[in-house]
Amino acid sequence: MGDNSVFITGAATGIGLGIARKLDQLGWRVFAGVNRTAPTELLHGASDRLTVIRVNIADDEQVKQAAATVRQALGANGLKLLINNAAVSGVAPGPVETVNIADFKAEMDVNFWGPVRVTQAFLPLLRQYGRGARIIMVTSASIYFTIPAGGSYAIEKHALTALTEHLRMEVAPFGIEVTALEPGGVRTPMTGFRPEQETHFWNSIPQPLRQQYQEAFEYPGKGLSEGFEFESIETYADKVYKQIISAKRLRPRYTLGIGVGMLPWMHRVLSKRALERIFRRLLRVKAPA
Ligand SMILES: NC(=O)c1ccc[n+]([C@@H]2O[C@H](COP(=O)([O-])OP(=O)(O)OC[C@H]3O[C@@H](n4cnc5c(N)ncnc54)[C@H](OP(=O)(O)O)[C@@H]3O)[C@@H](O)[C@H]2O)c1
């Protein structure tokens, strides 16, 4: 069993940045995967243990190369923790009826196939670490509700949730634990309502259908983010460390963030119909005709 080491994707911004910085401060050996954004914030005040690795998780070769770099740095020790954090949103806007399939595939290539690629490439290193090695899949609290006409992201996170469930059983015999982190309400470049998103969203639906959808619901996401509280990446990273990374044993999933903790409970106790009524009201969607 080696030292505390982590490979985390999407570490230049948001939740990934918060966690990478936190673990670096705690003395971990951090391998920080970054894509297009310069890791300026990440490197500011970072220790010399932290290694930045440029990796686009939609690219097979780059992912394999990232794993080779980490393997070479860690030698026989193996990797303790893999955090599949990177994702995109808003690439494939629109209702199922009109969503652009090429855009949907491109988004899925990052949000679902990305973690598949990364997990395949890094599992040998985790197995080398042995008992105590862990994988955290960052999914989303959006798997607990439906955002009509904004489904692609949630659908991809549902797929990632299924992958997490499956993987947990498969790798448990090697002593590797797998969990899903289901965030919500963290202030990052991905969250918050932006007017240009609304325009982009509506423009993705061809006329005359656009008008029909506009009459059926307001912009998906607006109802959720208006007046919604967000927490900082620092506060969030603290919680992730205390509740997940330092836990003796991992729970199968952690729904973590402001206002999202009760979502799994609501799913257990309420009927599908009651849940839909609540979310329809929250998201300002018209009742069924
Ligand atoms: N913030 C929340 O409240 C919230 C809620 C639910 C779920 N999440 C999940 O939390 C995770 C982190 O998101 P965030 O909120 O922290 O947003 P974020 O700051 O936008 O982080 C996403 C990161 O993923 C990277 N990334 C995107 N495409 C990539 C690719 N092809 N290859 C490698 N890296 C790529 C981005 O780098 P570039 O910008 O350089 O491409 C970015 O650093 C995501 O999985 C997200 O779905 C967050």
CA of 186 to the centre of ligand 1 (A): 11
- Determine the average pLDDT of the residues in 109-133: 98
Tell me: pLDDT of 100 over 90. yes
CA of 191 to the centre of ligand 1 (A): 10
Atom of ligand 1 nearest to the CA of 233: 16
Name the more confident of 158 and 146: 158
Which residue's CA lies nearest to atom 33 of ligand 1? 56
Name the more confident of 203 and 127: 127
Segment 45-74, tens digit of pLDDT: 999 999 999 999 999 999 999 999 999 999
What's this model's pTM, rounded to 2 decimal places?
Answer: 0.96
Name the more confident of 132 and 284: 132
Domain boundaries, the chain: 5-283
Atom of ligand 1 nearest to the CA of 111: 45
pLDDT number for residue 285: 83
Atom of ligand 1 nearest to the CA of 187: 1
Which residue's CA lies nearest to atom 42 of ligand 1? 10
pLDDT number for residue 81: 98
Q: Is 153 a catalytic residue?
A: yes
Which residue's CA lies nearest to atom 44 of ligand 1? 87
Which pLDDT band, with edges at 50, 70 and 90, does 143 fall under?
Answer: very high
Segment 196-229, tens digit of pLDDT: 777 888 888 999 998 888 888 765 555 555 667 8
pLDDT number for residue 270: 97
CA of 127 to the centre of ligand 1 (A): 26
Q: Which two tokens stand for residue 277?
A: 């009524």
pLDDT number for residue 217: 77
Segment 245-260, tens digit of pLDDT: 999 999 999 999 998 9
3-state secondary structure the chain: CCCCEEEECCCCCHHHHHHHHHHHHCCCEEEEEECCCCCHHHHCCCCCCCEEEECCCCCHHHHHHHHHHHHHHHHHHCCCEEEECCCCCCCCCCCCCCCCHHHHHHHHHHHCHHHHHHHHHHHHHHHHHCCCCEEEEECCHHHHCCCCCCHHHHHHHHHHHHHHHHHHHHHHHHCCEEEEEEEECECCCCCCCCHHHHHHHHHCCCCCHHHHHHHHECCCCHHHHCCCCCECHHHHHHHHHHHHHCCCCCCCEEEEECCCCCHHHHHHHCCHHHHHHHHHHHHCECCCC
- Determine the average pLDDT of the residues in 274-279: 91
CA of 209 to the centre of ligand 1 (A): 31
CA of 86 to the centre of ligand 1 (A): 4
Name the class of domain 5-283: alpha beta
Catalytic residue (choose from 144, 153, 213, 254)? 153
The binding-site residues of ligand 1, defined as CB within 6 angstroms of any ligand atom, are 9-10, 12-16, 35-37, 55-58, 85-88, 110, 138, 140-141, 183-186, 188-191, 257
Which pLDDT band, with edges at 50, 70 and 90, does 25 fall under?
Answer: very high
pLDDT number for residue 214: 84
pLDDT number for residue 220: 55
Q: What share of the chain has pLDDT > 90, as a percent? A: 78
- Among 19, 40, 181, 190, the mutation site with the greatest number of ligand 1 atoms within 8 A of its Cβ is 190
Which pLDDT band, with edges at 50, 70 and 90, does 191 fall under?
Answer: confident
Atom of ligand 1 nearest to the CA of 37: 40
